[in-house]
Amino acid sequence: MAMLHFTTACWKNFQGDRLNKQLFFICRALHKSAASDALGISAAREETMPESMISPANVGEKPRIMTLKEMPGPSTLSNLIEFFWKDGFSRIHEIQMEHTKKFGKIFKSRFGPQLVVSVAHRDLVAEVLRAEGVAPQRANMESWKEYRDIRGRSTGLISAEGEDWLKMRSVLRQLIMRPRDVAVFSDDVNQVVDDLIKRVLILRSQESDRATVLNVNDLFFKYAMEGVAAILYESRLGCLENQIPLETQDYISALHLMFSSFKTTMYAGAIPKWLRPLIPKPWEEFCLSWDGLFKFSRIHVDKRLSEIKAQLQRGEEVKGGLLTHMLITKEMSREEIYANLTEMLLAGVDTTSFTLSWASYLLARHPHIQQQIFTEVTKTLEPGAVATADDISRLPLIRGLVKETLRLFPVLPGNGRITQDDLVVGGYFIPKGTQLALCHYSTSFDEENFPDSLDFQPARWIRKDSTDRVDNFGSIPFGYGIRSCIGKRIAELEMHLALTRLIQRFHIGVSPLTPDVKSKTHGLLCPAGPIHLQFIDREN
């Protein structure tokens, strides 16, 4: 276990902390906000621009700044038909591409009174993100906030805004944002990778060919949950065991409810309150799934808290990781800790597991690339060596594999921002308070950014020298800037260590049971069908 050391000196502070509110909740909102962005869930005004912007710049040689009214985009009717009639919810990424082709770098979509401006070019995405203020806002989180208010819970990093967000972000940023902060978790994650490998052996032994693992996403879901919880809660959940403990199963059910009722829970925020008595299901399911997620966090946080108290009462030195640090330093209230761990766990499971599923699928479909990566791994690591975070810098193709997977299958195909100031983007005046959708999916396939963009080429991410910058705003799967993914380094650690070990140990092949797997949007971009893969022992 990665250890931080605490003494009784911290305890005085710690004891004063009382549980004065109930728990709180979180997560896929950001992951959901991708959908709401595409839908234009929050309203914006198509107002005229201030006079100062009209002249003199507009009358001289500079290009005229245009208004939102002049911006192209699909009609409200065609959007409604696309989404509600033709199940556009599961094709949000494709619709993003189609609209980009048809309307260009920047376009608007409207749903009744609600408007969203889509930004679909790398340079414009950069313009928006570089102009951000100190506390950017991603999307309208009213339904999330309402749930917390009803239950008396706090906000976490995903759902908080303004000062509250800034305060929590500055605490967490210091703990997990840099690669060296998370490198200390290598051993914890590697223990989970051990269990992943054992699970592969068990699962494939149950199939007639003794090679196939059915529906690898189920396996990676359990790995991702176990891995992120080992870091966040400093405890093992038993996800990769034959018999999953009951409380972990309850959490998984709550997560599945959130996921399976994605559409209904999306409507939970969209349906006006006065209609809830007539259509109660979406809001009820929304609250029920969050109740389950919060309950789980509270159990694990309180468990660790009791252990710490007992240790301190015995006069022992307290050693621990992230949670111990948060509980002892009291930089956040207990409610905020509950909230943040709930949000981070939720944000950290499907995202990582889908990416691992796609990465394995791509390796299986491209055996020659898999061989190149295997060669890099065997040349870099001693036979049988277990890679740690420090080794990953010497495995550029493993890093390229994750980047390329996220380019082809960005888990969040779009991200959102609500503008906090009036802006000019792509020659258009965008008033403060407008919902922007940053179209990461379409920029990922823009040939200008990535030549032969449909091809799987992990090597495209390798830098020729230190001045060569391969990454650009065309593919920013973790976002960019002050509001970017706080779990990026944790996710990378989990994925790098798991993929390195899988490649060392197995040749991953496509099962004849697996057809060409397409992606669909279901909150996140996920495989539209199960991925079955073969894990064949490599000869030593």
Return the structure tokens found at 333: 């209230």
Number of residues that make up the chain: 540
Residue in this structure with the two tokens 């931080």, named with its chain if needed: 4
Q: What angle do CA 410, 190, 173 make, to 5 degrees?
A: 55
Nearer CB in complex with ligand HEM: 329/484: 484
- Residue closer to ligand HEM, measured from CB, 10 or 229: 229
Residue nearest to ligand HEM (CB): 487
Query: Of all residues in the chain, what percent are helix, strand and coil, respectively (each to 5)?
Result: 55, 10, 35
Residue among 138 and 204 whose Cβ is closer to ligand HEM:
138
CB of 68 to ligand HEM, least distance (A): 23
CB of 393 to ligand HEM, least distance (A): 19
Q: How far is the CB of 130 from ligand HEM (least distance, A)?
A: 12
Query: Contact 315/172 with Cβ under 8 angstroms?
Result: no
DSSP 191-206: HHHHHHHHHHHHHHHT
The radius of gyration of the chain's CA atoms, rounded to the nearest angstrom, is 24
Nearer to ligand HEM, 458 or 479 (CB): 479
Q: How far is the CB of 260 from ligand HEM (least distance, A)?
A: 21
Contacts of 300 (CB under 8 A, 6+ apart): 229, 233, 235, 323, 341
- Residue 56: cis peptide before it, omega within 30 degrees of 0: yes
**Dihedral angle sign, alpha carbons of residues 385, 391, 397, 398:** positive
Query: Binding residue per annotation — 27?
Result: no
The separation between CA 451 and the C-alpha centre of its own chain, rounded to angstroms, equals 26
**Nearest-approach distance from CB 189 to ligand HEM, in angstroms:** 11
Q: Which is nearer to ligand HEM, 138 or 298 (CB)?
A: 138
The residue with tokens 């959102």 is 416
Considering the complex, what minimum distance in angstroms separates the CB of residue 409 from ligand HEM?
Answer: 10
| Contacts (Cβ under 8 Å, ≥6 apart) of 169 | 157, 482, 483, 486
Give the burial string for 453-486 (b: 16+ CB within 10 Å, else e): beebbbebbeeeeeeeeeeebbbbbbbbeebebb
DSSP state of 429: E
Distance CA 199, CA 197 (A): 5
Closest CA to 196 of 221, 223, 214, 231: 223
Q: Cβ closer to ligand HEM: 169 or 334? A: 169
Instruction: Pick the closer one to ligand HEM by CB: 318 or 356.
Output: 356
Minimum distance, C-beta of residue 233 to ligand HEM, in the bound complex (Å): 11
Cis status, amide bond into 277, omega within 30 of 0: no
- CB nearer to ligand HEM: give 285 or 350: 350
Bridge partners of 525, per DSSP, are 521
Element (H, E) at 257: helix 246-260
CB of 139: closest distance to ligand HEM in angstroms? 9
Which residues form the interface with ligand HEM (CB under 6 A)?
30, 138, 157-158, 169, 228, 343-344, 347-348, 351-352, 355, 406, 411-412, 415, 477-480, 483-487, 490-491
Q: How far is the CB of 351 from ligand HEM (least distance, A)?
A: 3
3-class DSSP state of 416: strand
Chain centre distance of CA 187: 23
Residue with smaller CB distance to ligand HEM, 14 or 223? 223
324, two tokens: 């111990």
Closest contact distance (angstroms) between CB of 52 and ligand HEM is: 30
| 328's tokens | 């002892």
Of 4 and 65, CB closest to ligand HEM: 4
Separation of alpha carbons 534 and 521, rounded Å: 26
* Binding site members: 485
* Binding site members for heme: 485
